[in-house]
Amino acid sequence: MERTYSISELAAEFDITPRTIRHYEAEGLIAPDRDGQRRIYSARDRVRLALVLRGKRLGFSLAEAREIIDLYAAPHGEVGQLRTLLGKLDAKRAMLEDKRRDLDAAIANMDRYAERCRERLGDLEAATREAAE
Amino acid sequence: MERTYSISELAAEFDITPRTIRHYEAEGLIAPDRDGQRRIYSARDRVRLALVLRGKRLGFSLAEAREIIDLYAAPHGEVGQLRTLLGKLDAKRAMLEDKRRDLDAAIANMDRYAERCRERLGDLEAATREAAE
DNA sequence: TGCACAGTTTACGTTAACGTAAACGTCAAT
DNA sequence: ATTGACGTTTACGTTAACGTAAACTGTGCA
């Protein structure tokens, strides 16, 4: 038997509220088992939740996140299914790469700017030392 | 004299609406000059707009985007100002790196999965060819 | 037995980021 | 002189992603 989780356990672990997790369920992102009324989360549910949250951090909407995550649960039975799945994976990968280009540019930009600031700081400090002589 | 832009020019170039650009102004992200009532955007305004949009693509709120972009317009006059600026730049850079880690993990994850799918597709196709003999 | 505690549903509220519409100004061309 | 094309302000509407509150349901234990 694999480990399971209550909603408040997962909420605490990922620093979100139970309401948020229920909302993700209402949006079709997670589908936990039930023990009567109570939700029971499996390890796989937990992984999906982590994927949702990572998607959010990367700026995806819940709908976009679901599109991506659902690919990981798509049927693999037939050759045709596998082909279309691979096509979709390729498209999503391209989106992620676009984001990486944006991100790398933003970081490089900031690094160049910080470097110029450090140079200027060095100049100012040198001038201050001279003035102190 | 540098080139200037009208609001609809910029809107067309970045594929957004004038309303969006005005909204960014209302939120303090851009501050174009005026010719009477009309807004006149400079090359620097255009760069700021591009930065805002990139920030949005990376999942930042307008407020977060403004925080980052404003660093590029922060005063450099005194040594103290430069020091705090460099500190803030460092913090923002760390945020960006966190995002890059998330992004790299997402891409690596997807690549591994796609690879498994391709293997499985190869197996299925081989089995199909055998059955055709 | 009773009560605290965790969970549930239902439903209205809130915030960010614009969309949409109305009413108006201005300037060039017909 | 009027008609577009573009611009402006003001203001209400909308959507996503939850927050918040109320009312209810088990479940373990003192």
Contact A79 B113 (CB under 8 A): no
Residue with the bigger pLDDT between B66 and A128: it is: B66
Helical segments of B15-78, H only: 18-26, 43-57, 62-71
A48 contacts A30 by C-beta, under 8 angstroms: yes
Going from the C-alpha of A68 to that of each of A84, A85, A106, B62, B120, the distances in angstroms are: 14, 11, 24, 25, 20
Torsion of CA B14, B15, B21, B27, to 10 degrees: -80
The tens place of each residue's pLDDT in chain B, 133 residues long, gives 689 999 999 999 999 999 999 999 999 999 999 999 999 999 999 999 999 999 999 999 999 999 999 999 999 989 999 999 999 999 999 999 999 999 999 999 999 999 999 999 999 999 988 888 7
Structure tokens at B66: 């403004």
Structure tokens at B118: 């391709």
Q: Which amino acid is at A112?
A: R
Burial class (CB in 10 A: 0-12, 13-18, 19+), A25: middle
* pLDDT attached to residue B125: 93
User: At CA B21, angle to CA B20 and CA B25, rounded to 5?
Assistant: 115
Nucleotides of C under 7 A from a protein CB: 6-9, 16-20, 26-27
Residue nearest to nucleotide D25 (CA to C1'): A37
CB-nearest partner of A102 from B54, B98, B121: B54
B46 contacts B37 by C-beta, under 8 angstroms: no
* pLDDT attached to residue B114: 98
Residue A112 main-chain phi, psi, to 5 deg: -60, -40
A61: left (phi > 0), else alpha (psi -120 to 50), else beta?
beta
User: At CA A105, angle to CA A101 and CA A107, rounded to 5?
Assistant: 120
Contact A86 B120 (CB under 8 A): no
Q: Could you give the maximum distance between any two Cα atoms of chain B, in Å?
A: 81
CB-nearest partner of A86 from B90, B100, B121: B121
Angle between helices A43-57 and B79-131 (to 10 degrees): 130
SS3 category, A79: helix
Contact A82 B106 (CB under 8 A): no
Nearest one of A58, A71, A131, A67 to B110, comparing CA atoms: A71
What is the enclosing helix (H) or strand (E) of A104? helix A79-131
d(C-alpha A66, C-alpha A56), whole Å: 11
Structure tokens at B132: 């055709």
* pLDDT attached to residue B132: 80
Structure tokens at B17: 């609406």
> Residue B26 CA to D11 C1' — how many Å?
15
> Residue A51 CA to C17 C1' — how many Å?
25
* pLDDT attached to residue B1: 67
